[in-house]
Amino acid sequence: MSRLNIAESAPEMYKAFLQAEQAIQEGPLHATVRELVKIRGSQLNGCLFCVDMHVHEALRLGETQDRIYQLSAWRESELYTDAERAALAYTEAVTKQPDGVSDEVWDAVAAAFKPEEAAYLVAQVAQINLWNRIAAPMRTRPPKRG
């Protein structure tokens, strides 16, 4: 059982979070990159609710099961594009240590994405970390399926 329902307890704040999420979704960052970033960040943060939600969303958007299975070991996998690798490296760097984004990681992002796309990647990584830091400590659980 969830400790606190943020949407009910602070609806205006929750609405602002949803508005930011909507703006990111309407931006130029490809949906596949957005979902991979959300899943990987949620894996690192141990957020079961968000992992579950974004795996299902990625599958709904046409992501393959193999790419989802291999996501936790993406560096060893041959299934990801250079842009996806840059986004995943950035996600890991920010999630593990916000000031730990090396020039090498950032240069890969800058090479793979136009400035506007990179800005949306930065926002998406920040946003999934926000959601994870709400859902995980509140022990929010995914819906029971099957």
Confirm whether 6 is domain-assigned: no
Confirm whether 140 is domain-assigned: no
Going residue by residue through the chain, which has 146 residues, state the pLDDT in tens, using 9 for 90 and above: 789 999 999 999 999 999 999 999 999 999 999 999 999 999 999 999 999 999 999 999 999 999 999 999 999 999 999 999 999 999 999 999 878 899 999 999 999 999 999 999 999 999 999 999 999 999 999 999 87
Q: What is the pLDDT of residue 58?
A: 98
Q: What is the pLDDT of residue 120?
A: 98
Query: Which of 39, 47, 18 shows the shortest CA–CA distance to 134?
Result: 47
Confirm whether 97 is domain-assigned: yes
Range of the domain at 45: 17-135
CA–CA distance, 60 with 52 (Å, rounded to integer): 12
In the chain, the number of structural domains is 1
Q: What is the pLDDT of residue 76?
A: 98
The CA-based angle 120-124-127, given to 5 degrees, is 135
The answer to whether the CB of 25 falls within 8 A of the CB of 34 is: yes
Confirm whether 40 is domain-assigned: yes
Confirm whether 29 is domain-assigned: yes
Q: What is the CATH number of the domain that holds 70?
A: 1.20.1290.10
Confirm whether 9 is domain-assigned: no
Confirm whether 7 is domain-assigned: no
SS3 99: coil
Query: Which of 69, 87, 89, 99 shows the shortest CA–CA distance to 33?
Result: 87
Query: Which of 79, 87, 74, 85 shows the shortest CA–CA distance to 29?
Result: 87
Which pTM does this prediction carry?
Answer: 0.94
Q: What is the pLDDT of residue 100?
A: 85
